[in-house]
């Protein structure tokens, strides 16, 4: 069963020699959170691939092993944001 929580934001923690594509070589940045737009689980692997929009507004399928959860923000609509901006809003 695949289910995707509304407003799930993920941050990149790229694995060295991890599954391709490597997010930091594909337009993603450390220090940002990315909204999960979808989820794909091909039958030939146990990995799941999240659909994310990178900093160049390209849509990519990134392996779950490169990602860590950041927050559930159901009211947020942006594709990505700087983590420091979000932390300041949460504290401020």
Q: What is the reported pTM?
A: 0.87
| Segments making up each domain of the chain, as ranges | 8-91
Rounded Cα gap, residues 17 and 67, in angstroms = 14
pLDDT at 91: 41
pLDDT at 45: 82
Tokens encoding 60: 């990519």
Rounded Cα gap, residues 52 and 57, in angstroms = 9
* Interval 47-70: pLDDT, tens: 999 999 999 999 999 999 999 999
pLDDT at 89: 53
Residues of the chain with pLDDT below 70 are 1, 85-92
């Amino acid at each position: 069963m695949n289910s995707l929580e509304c407003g799930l934001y993920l941050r990149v923690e790229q694995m060295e020699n991890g599954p391709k594509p490597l997010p930091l070589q594909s337009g993603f940045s450390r220090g940002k959170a990315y909204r999960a737009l979808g989820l794909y689980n091909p039958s030939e692997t146990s990995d799941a691939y999240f659909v994310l929009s990178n900093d160049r507004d390209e849509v990519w399928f990134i392996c779950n092993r490169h990602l860590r959860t950041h927050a559930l923000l159901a009211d947020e609509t942006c594709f990505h944001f700087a983590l420091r901006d979000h932390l300041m809003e949460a504290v401020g």
